[in-house]
């Protein structure tokens, strides 16, 4: 049974909308409260959780009449039950208590997107108790739903925790902040795991935020498993009993920095990077489009390179025109002079009826073709303006072949393209070579300064590399004892992993270090790269190391702390397609960043570390 995160999340939400009552298979004979028309009240983060999964029409099907924002003033609807779906924050709790006291709705079903901590629950209870006696009776149910993640597609999710990378790598960050962030990430991952309903085996690299998150998640899972019945026994008894446990691989962004900044030539990463795709919504200057699983063209062509996409659009357009002509011909519309058999009434009416029935489908196809034509046109404009194809080729050369044509590099740096593009190229250049010759480096820096590019990010990456070379000699075998300064150890491993990947050319093109590692982890065979990865198994007894289940795994959940992007998603999808008994991979990150946004975060870190001077006009990195 393959794990479909989105379907499971949808199931949970639908059940919540039906007031958490048992879903009878034939729609339920005893309707009672289940048939009521309810009001849905949410706060902004939960609205973004719900939007990719359910549309307004679907909500109406489930009996929801109004969707309201908890922060806006609302009026009373005295005869409808209300379903609240909010995050457990004190502000929300106070507002719910105020609504209950004022009696805005007839009954309150309060659902929290993650677990509500005890003090907040007591706060709600005290507020309700202080109000008139009917108030507490109105609150019919309080539940923890554990779905605090945004599931953009079937195999892609995001925890919507912006700026996690900055917070983790900030030299001035307080320990308490980092611990809080790690806890938040662990809670989000717990929600994902709880929705999937299986306890995974956790593997992560040593040192660094990945290990901390893994430890926190392991502790949380163990605590939860102690209570029986718990989420996982119920899930296992319900659906198909799947004996396969997935492996949860945790990675930190520093593991492979180059993927975060490079340019890619496939359709979906291009749209995300150049046009700014957020939460499956694309805002062009003229229009707003939605791109998700229901768009067949998008699903079929998202990983194809851009020229092929343009050809596909043309092919679809030609086919559509053909179909329309056929319909016109049969019903006598369109061209004059086409023979129209006026005597055959029945036949004509039948054709007319078929034509009318096929109208919705034809309009849908036309809309889809128009949408993608507009997207491709604007992409083309941007590409021409910024000569992105040159950047792609150059970066590809550097990362895959390990060679660089100095002239192309310098001409690109001096030529067209936004400042972020040039920075990204320079950072990729830095990351692809262990020791770039210093003359070249100086030329690159000079070219950057000529184009008035802010050097903070560049300097920051340079410093990371410098740290790496310093400690490369010292890091010998990995130690598992107390890791005092995890930053240096981490960088050492990350850069070496990337360069090892570059030198290790595989026959079917370049594979990201991430994909290789995931594949190795899923195979479960001894492999020098992943042998020293830690393993946490929440189901195994805490003491003793016996019975460590190392694989092979059929399913994997890959999580990137600090910002993932569509390029990694694409290479994981390719792994899934090429693997031979079929494997299934789900990819997630704290946020999905485009290359430009990630460069901004790097630059901000460089500024905080006090590197690089010059103009500092860095807008805060916006993330989804």
Partner 1 sequence: MIPTRPAQASFRDRTNDFRAAVESARRHAAPSSSSAPAAASSSSTGTLDGLIAATSARSEFTNRASKIGLGIHQASQKLSRLAKLAKRTSVFDDPTVEIQELTAVIKKDITALNTAVVDLQALCNSQNESGSLSKDTTNHSTTVVDNLKNRLMSATKEFKEVLTMRTENLKVHENRRQMFSSSAAKDASNPFIRQRPLGARDPSESSVPPAPWASDSASTPLFQRKKTNGDHGASSSSSQPFAHQQQLAVQQDSYIQSRAEALQNVESTIHELSNIFTQLATMVSQQGELAIRIDENMDDTVTNVEGAQGQLLKYLNSISSNRWLMMKIFFVLMVFLMIFIFFVA
Pick the closer one to partner 1 by CB: 121 or 609.
121
| Residue with token string 């502790």 | 219
Pick the closer one to partner 1 by CB: 360 or 581.
360
Q: Which of 174, 238, 286, 336 binds partner 1 (CB under 8 A)?
A: 238
Does 145 help bind partner 1 (rule: CB under 8 A)?
A: yes
CB of 109 to partner 1, least distance (A): 10
Pick the closer one to partner 1 by CB: 142 or 173.
142
CB of 114 to partner 1, least distance (A): 10
CB 70 within 8 A of CB 92: yes
Among candidate residues 416, 429, 424, 410, the one with its CA nearest the CA of residue 382 = 416
Q: Which of 275, 352, 400, 472 binds partner 1 (CB under 8 A)?
A: 352
Q: Which of 346, 473, 484, 506 binds partner 1 (CB under 8 A)?
A: 346
Q: Which of residues 5-64 bind partner 1 (CB under 8 A)?
A: 8, 11-12, 15-16, 20, 22-23, 27, 31, 33, 35-37, 39, 44, 47-48, 50-51, 54-57, 59-60, 63
Distances (CA, A) of 197 to 232, 237, 438, 556, 599: 5, 10, 53, 14, 36
Pick the closer one to partner 1 by CB: 143 or 380.
143
Pick the closer one to partner 1 by CB: 193 or 427.
193
Q: Which of residues 590-609 bind partner 1 (CB under 8 A)?
A: none
Q: Residue 450 in 3-state DSSP?
A: helix
Return the range that interacts with partner 1 (CB under 8 A); candidates 73-81, 163-171, 182-190, 573-581. 73-81
Pick the closer one to partner 1 by CB: 110 or 182.
110
Does 158 help bind partner 1 (rule: CB under 8 A)?
A: no
Pick the closer one to partner 1 by CB: 234 or 531.
234
Pick the closer one to partner 1 by CB: 7 or 384.
7
Q: Which of residues 355-414 bind partner 1 (CB under 8 A)?
A: 356, 359-360
Q: Which of residues 91-130 bind partner 1 (CB under 8 A)?
A: 106-107, 111, 115-116, 118, 121-122, 124-126, 128-130
CB 40 within 8 A of CB 68: yes
Among candidate residues 238, 255, 239, the one with its CA nearest the CA of residue 169 = 255
Q: Which of residues 270-289 bind partner 1 (CB under 8 A)?
A: 281, 288
CA 286 from chain centre, in angstroms, equals 26
Both tokens assigned to 546:
């016996």
C-alpha neighbours within 13 Å on the C-beta side of residue 598: 29
Q: Which of residues 189-208 bind partner 1 (CB under 8 A)?
A: 194-195, 197
Return the range that interacts with partner 1 (CB under 8 A); candidates 233-241, 380-388, 498-506, 537-545. 233-241
Among candidate residues 227, 237, 228, 281, the one with its CA nearest the CA of residue 55 = 281
- Pairing outcome for strands 277-278 and 584-589: unpaired
Q: Which of 177, 234, 314, 442 binds partner 1 (CB under 8 A)?
A: 234
Does 161 help bind partner 1 (rule: CB under 8 A)?
A: no
Q: Which of 5, 168, 231, 447 binds partner 1 (CB under 8 A)?
A: 231
Total residues in contact with partner 1, by rule CB under 8 A? 88
Among candidate residues 460, 449, 410, 437, the one with its CA nearest the CA of residue 261 = 460
| Residue with token string 């629950």 | 121
Q: Residue 28 in 3-state DSSP?
A: coil
CB 268 within 8 A of CB 299: no
Spatial distance between the Cα atoms of 596 and 269, rounded to a whole number of angstroms: 12
DSSP-assigned states of every residue in 114-172: SPPPHHHHHHHHHHHHHS-THHHHHEEEEEE----SEEEETTEEE---TTHHHHHH-TT
């Amino acid at each position: 049974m393959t794990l479909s995160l989105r379907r499971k999340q949808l199931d949970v939400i639908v059940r919540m909308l039906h007031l958490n009552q048992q879903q009878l298979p034939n729609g339920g004979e005893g309707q009672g409260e289940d048939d009521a028309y309810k009001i849905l009240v949410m706060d902004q983060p939960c609205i973004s959780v719900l939007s990719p999964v359910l549309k307004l029409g679907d909500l109406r099907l489930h009996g929801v009449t109004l969707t309201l924002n908890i922060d806006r003033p609302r009026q009373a609807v005295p005869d409808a039950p209300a379903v609240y779906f909010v995050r457990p924050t004190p502000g929300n709790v106070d507002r719910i208590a105020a609504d209950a006291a004022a009696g805005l709705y007839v009954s309150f079903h309060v659902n929290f997107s993650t677990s509500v901590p005890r003090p907040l629950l007591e706060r709600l209870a005290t507020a309700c108790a202080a109000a008139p006696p009917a108030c507490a009776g109105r609150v019919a149910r309080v539940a923890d739903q554990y779905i605090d993640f945004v599931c953009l597609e079937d195999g892609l999710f995001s925890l919507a925790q912006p700026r996690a990378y900055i917070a983790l790598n900030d030299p001035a960050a307080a320990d308490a902040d980092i611990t809080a962030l790690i806890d938040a990430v662990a809670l989000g991952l717990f929600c994902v795991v709880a929705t999937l309903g299986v306890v995974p085996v956790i593997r992560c690299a040593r040192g660094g935020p990945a290990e901390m998150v893994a430890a926190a998640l392991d502790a949380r899972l163990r605590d939860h498993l102690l209570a029986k019945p718990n989420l996982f026994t119920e899930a296992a008894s319900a659906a198909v009993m799947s004996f396969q446990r997935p492996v949860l691989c945790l990675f930190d962004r520093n593991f492979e920095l180059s993927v975060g900044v490079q340019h890619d030539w496939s359709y979906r990463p291009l749209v995300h990077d150049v046009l700014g795709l957020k939460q499956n919504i694309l805002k062009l200057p003229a229009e707003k489009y939605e791109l998700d699983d229901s768009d067949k063209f998008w699903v079929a062509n998202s990983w194809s390179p851009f020229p092929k996409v343009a050809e596909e659009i043309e092919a679809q357009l030609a086919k559509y025109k053909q179909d329309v002509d056929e319909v016109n011909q049969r019903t006598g519309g369109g061209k004059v002079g086409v023979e129209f058999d006026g005597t055959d009434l029945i036949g004509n009416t039948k054709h007319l009826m078929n034509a009318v029935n096929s109208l919705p489908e034809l309009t849908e196809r036309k809309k889809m073709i128009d949408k993608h034509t507009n997207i491709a046109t604007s992409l083309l404009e941007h590409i021409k303006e910024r000569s992105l194809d040159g950047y792609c080729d150059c970066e590809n050369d550097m990362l895959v072949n390990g060679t660089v044509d100095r002239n192309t590099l310098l001409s690109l740096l001096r030529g067209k393209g936004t400042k972020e593009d040039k920075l990204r190229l320079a950072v990729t250049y830095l990351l692809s070579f262990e020791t770039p010759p210093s003359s070249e480096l100086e030329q690159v820096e000079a070219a950057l300064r000529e184009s008035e590019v802010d050097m903070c990010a560049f300097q920051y990456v340079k410093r990371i590399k410098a740290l790496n070379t310093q400690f490369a000699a010292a890091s010998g075998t990995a130690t598992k004892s107390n890791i005092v300064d995890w930053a240096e150890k981490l960088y050492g491993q990350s850069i070496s992993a990337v360069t090892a990947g570059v030198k290790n050319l595989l026959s079917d093109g370049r594979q990201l270090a991430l994909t290789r590692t995931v594949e190795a982890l899923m195979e479960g065979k001894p492999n020098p790269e992943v042998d020293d990865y830690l393993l946490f198994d929440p189901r195994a007894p805490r003491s003793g190391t016996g019975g460590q289940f190392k694989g092979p795994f059929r399913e994997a959940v890959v999580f990137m702390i600090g910002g993932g992007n569509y390029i990694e998603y694409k290479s994981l999808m390719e792994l899934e397609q090429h693997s031979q008994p079929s494997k299934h991979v789900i990819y997630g990150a704290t946020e999905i960043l485009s290359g430009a946004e990630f460069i901004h975060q790097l630059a901000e870190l460089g500024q905080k570390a006090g590197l690089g001077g010059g103009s500092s006009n860095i807008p805060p990195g916006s993330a989804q």
